[in-house]
Amino acid sequence: MTTAKVAFSQKDYDKSIDFAQQEITKNPNNGEALLLLADAYLMKGNPKKAAEYANKADKVIKDPKLMQRPKLLINKIWVESFNNGVENFNRYYKTNQEKFLDSAIKDFEVGKLVRPQLLEFYNMTGQVYENKSDSISAMSEYQAYLEKAKPELGIFESKLLYLQMPRPDAIVKLGKPVSSVPFPTGGEDSLITDIYSLNGKDLYVFYKDNKKDNNFTLAGLRYDPPENWLPSEQSQWASFQTTPIASLAQYNYNHKKYTEALKYLKLLGSLEPQNTNVPAFMVDIYQSIGKMDEAYTYLNELLAKEPKNKYYLCQMGDIYQNDKKFTEAIDYYKKALDIDKYYDNALRNIASAYKNKASIRQKELKDIYDLDNTKKPNAEEYFPDLRESAKYFTTVSKSDKYNNDYKVYSELANIYFVLDDKAQLNNMLEKLETLDSSVPAEEKESYYLNMMKLYSMLKNSEKMEYYKNKLQ
């Protein structure tokens, strides 16, 4: 071993490896020799081999004086592998050269060798494979992510937790933490970790506050991390990623595996009850397979557990609305707003429900008139719903999420046109015109087409031509 150490100190890593290997041949459980091999391979730029020997050293070294060394080396290996993988992934986005994706995969695979329970390696590797158009490998990584995340998913389910849950609500579910550790990041976010002992095992619950106003929300958790991890690794703040779940749902849907797709959507909906895409996606599937009743059964089960959950109430409203049952949808949105009158998704969607309900009645009256023109339609049969719709659209237009959403003001413009409220209509048109510069590039075409439609409705050919030219 002395010769191997001297060679290493002289940066003759090949010679150091040769002599250390000789020692391992004689004594396979020589921890110092295994560590030296790991160090030498790392210096030679072979992190995969370094990971192999660092793992072996971690398993055989029992000497308290040496036990930390392989763990620190393993930490160095996986951190560098993760950072290198992310860097190569970013290089791909900048250059579109696939070689960087291949390098990223190699980096993440090294990280998995030493920290196979670290979830983010599987999430990132899956994303890399998706960019390589290798869906099968990507889905395999995402399934591995969920398999490794079973302890955490079990806590989410058993304690009725969900992502973005306010910290006070989570504490009601979990009880008072044993300790709390704040992490001022110096950047845009502030972080807190609450630490619990649950069934004799450590539970770390991670919160984030984007606006630094002490409104911390649940971002992730880690339950019963491996004993061979460093304490800093066990408690390291980490968010729980739902990208793998959403990708698995989409993949199975695309391959007409609807039962599997629904399984992942239900999981996604339980973790992100505020995600409005989930109920719409589920309705699409249930309608495709002719089982809408199962959509209602699923959400009723959730509401039976948490009848005051505004997200579940809003999701039920969304399902009714997608099923064109607008009266029932309105009832559920109102229940959600009784709990939180500022809940923007419920405000936005109840406004749509009232407008859709009015449109159906308007068409019914027109059909009656077309059959018998002596029966003149009474606009007051649907105007009240339009006025309610305008009320909710106006309220939600003042929220942070929708205050510059051109679609909201377009809806209002359309309503005021039907109501023949010229003053309010002009206000909406003026607001819409001011939003031109703030509309995202990918939505510009839709915005200009919408403006053309509005001015066509108003027979304003000059404005129509103006926005037509904008499209070109």
Overall pTM surpassing 0.85 (yes/no): no
The pLDDT value given to residue 124: 97
> Do the strands 217-223 and 201-209 form a parallel or antiparallel pair, or are they unpaired?
antiparallel
Residue 202 has φ and ψ, to the nearest 5°, of: -75, 135
How many C-beta neighbours within 10 Å does residue 162 have?
A: 22
* Full set of structural domains in the chain with CATH: 2-66 (1.25.40.10), 75-149 (1.25.40.10), 151-234 (3.30.1450), 245-471 (1.25.40.10)
* Segment 221-270, tens digit of pLDDT: 999 999 999 999 999 999 999 999 999 999 999 999 999 999 999 999 99
Tokens 């904008």 identify what position? Answer: 470
Q: In this model, does residue 367 exceed pLDDT 80?
A: yes
What's the mean per-residue pLDDT of the chain?
A: 92
The pLDDT value given to residue 269: 92
From CA 55, how far away is CA 48, in angstroms rounded? 11
How many C-beta neighbours within 10 Å does residue 459 have?
A: 8
pLDDT band of 64, cuts 50, 70, 90: confident
The pLDDT value given to residue 18: 85
Q: In this model, does residue 274 exceed pLDDT 90?
A: no
Q: Per-residue pLDDT averaged across 138-142, rounded?
A: 97
| 24-33, 227-236, 341-350: least confidently modelled range | 24-33
* Segment 207-221, tens digit of pLDDT: 998 776 678 999 999
Strand partners, 203: 196, 223
The pLDDT value given to residue 8: 78
Q: What is residue 249's three-state secondary structure?
A: helix
CB-based contact 108:82 (threshold 8 Å): yes
Of the chain, the percentage scoring pLDDT greater than 70 comes to 98
Two structure tokens written together for 67: 């036990």
* Segment 5-26, tens digit of pLDDT: 878 788 888 888 888 888 888 8
Two structure tokens written together for 463: 């404005």
Q: Per-residue pLDDT averaged across 60-89, rounded?
A: 92
* Segment 172-213, tens digit of pLDDT: 999 999 999 988 665 566 899 999 999 999 999 999 987 766
Task: Quote the DSSP letter at residue 181.
Answer: E
Two structure tokens written together for 199: 């069934």
Q: In this model, does residue 379 exceed pLDDT 90?
A: no
Tokens 């806590």 identify what position? Answer: 155
Q: Per-residue pLDDT averaged across 428-453, rounded?
A: 94
Greater model confidence, 378 or 456: 456
* Segment 99-127, tens digit of pLDDT: 999 999 999 999 999 999 999 999 999 99
The helix or strand, by DSSP H or E, that contains position 217, with its residue range, turns out to be: strand 217-223
Burial class of 227 by CB neighbour count within 10 A (0 to 12, 13 to 18, 19+): exposed
The pLDDT value given to residue 372: 74
The helix or strand, by DSSP H or E, that contains position 71, with its residue range, turns out to be: helix 68-95
How many C-beta neighbours within 10 Å does residue 435 have?
A: 15
How many C-beta neighbours within 10 Å does residue 324 have?
A: 10
The pLDDT value given to residue 405: 95
The pLDDT value given to residue 167: 95
Residue 90 has φ and ψ, to the nearest 5°, of: -65, -35
